[in-house]
Structure 1
């Protein structure tokens, strides 16, 4: 059953679907009156709905039954990625959303090869957010992860102040065999608590960046004995969290 993130519902217990989602329902899926879809409201509640009417501009869906079960990770994990080359960030956003990430914060690291162009920033961030939304629909999420506009490293440190837990995925820790920090943090975390974890770009984080993060409450952790690529490490972390919270229950 197709899933759509929509506004509402309205006072008459209906969802009014417009824009790209309307186009997808009518032109791509070729749905008709009586077909069923899942609508997710801005507060994360989802419902099985039946299409009651299709006009030239919108599809109207009546609520059949509200869903009780949630597919969200019980904790909120935000991935902070040093800007990588090419389309690697798009991969991180797409797969990270499927694996349960709560949000994404790209940042300009000292070793980022990509130079962020503010003139093109709006279109780029819009594309990232669209990738997040489509991945959330595909994986039956009830939350669309927000993708922030890239920020400076110093602003990243400030943004992290409000998180309950703060980690750095640091390859030097992995080389030295560190294995306990991630487990200990996940073991301490309770539902709805937040975690931000920082991943460097292709060249990794500098010692100065790591030191600054540690001075501001971040803990360094290893992600197993193998050195992972910048686009692989966040997916490992999210998979580990899913195993810990969803499969070990």
Structure 2
């Protein structure tokens, strides 16, 4: 997606997280729980847990809440058993959509996914139908500020192992290979940078521009409903806005 669209999405999520921190922390807790059950509670051994902790911190989740989520997932505090299920499908005019969920009732989740896609001009597809159009990348977003030296940030990011850094109107986007994400994140965090968002994401290789107003409204509503649904952890898509609307 273009820089503008990505920044709009980040600001939207941040505004929601300010108003609904409890809901955001619940989603992050589920992601931690699944990761702990897959690879154990020690981030020194479970590299994916390190990445999820970094993402939780970028969402302003307190350290004690993160620790509690890890203990809960490892059985020290009890808790529900969540299953990770990924749905793939199409929005209006063939926009590719990937939805990562964490659920304790997969029949409920599957039914709601079908309902959301059908209602707003899309349809669910089979596993793998759109994921080939995305690359898994570490993505670190640093909001532009007067005290940030662009060249210095780029040099520090690349020296830490980043693949590249894109300079957009409102932010810097640093991309890494998935395995290098935590190293780059940690180096920049130690140097005092704060992040608008950080995590391992599914990044679209190409984008689909919607020109029809009704399609744009339906796509907005589909993303909104998916992101608000409790079982949904992450929503990725390749939708972009036409330049004259940015």
TM (normalized to structure 1)?
0.23
Name the structure where helix makes up a greater proportion of residues.
2
TM (normalized to structure 2)?
0.23
**Structure with more contact order per residue of length (Cα contacts < 8 Å, sep ≥ 6):** 2
